[in-house]
Amino acid sequence: MDQERGVPPARLQRLPSWLLSQAAVRSHRLLTEALAAVGSRGYEYRLLAALDEQGPSSQAVLGRSVGMDRRDVTMSLADLVGHGAVRRAPDPSDSRRNLVTLTATGHKRLKELDQVMDGVQDQLLAPLPPADRKRLTALLARLQP
């Protein structure tokens, strides 16, 4: 009846790559659950955040800036359009491209999701005192090549 995850080999426990992967899995689970509880997904937050900072953008630019697959961009945007969070219309100056624009509803939604995301960070970093949380975050940021 129990979940009984076994004990990982010590060989793995000492590898930064393993620890990173374990932490990322846990992080992803927390994030997915927290967003699902308010009827959203990680993709939505990423897209809303990018639109808020970059202003109206094409789907391709959007996808590249948050590292999303083109297909996921298309499908997530369809959802967001359905909820009135963004508008998708052909660019008047270039009829090939779709310009995506954040609506007032979308901006409000983003603010709500910001709160949810802050909660996720708290859960994720719960085992560490505040000073260590900052250290870990700074180290992870420097890890990007």
Tell me if 19 contacts a second copy by CB under 8 A: yes
Count Cβ atoms below 10 Å from residue 57 Cβ, excluding itself. 21
Q: Of 66, 81, 99, 116, which one interacts with a second copy (CB under 8 A)?
A: 66
- The secondary structure element, H or E, covering residue 96 is strand 94-102
CB of residue 99 vs DNA: minimum separation in angstroms? 7
Q: By CB under 8 A, what part of segment 105-144 binds a second copy?
A: 114, 117, 120-121, 124-128, 132-133, 135-137, 139-144
Residue type (1 letter), 74: T
Query: Which residues contact residue 52 at a Cβ distance below 8 angstroms, ignoring those fewer than 6 apart?
Result: 102, 107, 110
From a second copy, DNA, none, interface partner of 83 (C-beta below 5 to 8 A by class)? none
Closest CA to 81 of 64, 103, 61: 103
CA distances from 105 to 32, 33, 55, 65, 93 (A): 22, 23, 15, 22, 26
- Looking up tokens 């719960």, which residue turns up? 126
Q: Of 40, 43, 44, 50, which one interacts with a second copy (CB under 8 A)?
A: 50
Q: Of 13, 101, 105, 115, which one interacts with a second copy (CB under 8 A)?
A: 13
Site residues (CB under 8 A) for a second copy?
Answer: 4-17, 19-24, 26-28, 30-31, 46, 49-50, 52-54, 61, 64-67, 114, 117, 120-121, 124-128, 132-133, 135-137, 139-145
Site residues (CB under 7 A) for DNA?
Answer: 1, 25, 41-43, 58-61, 69-72, 74-75, 77, 88, 94-98
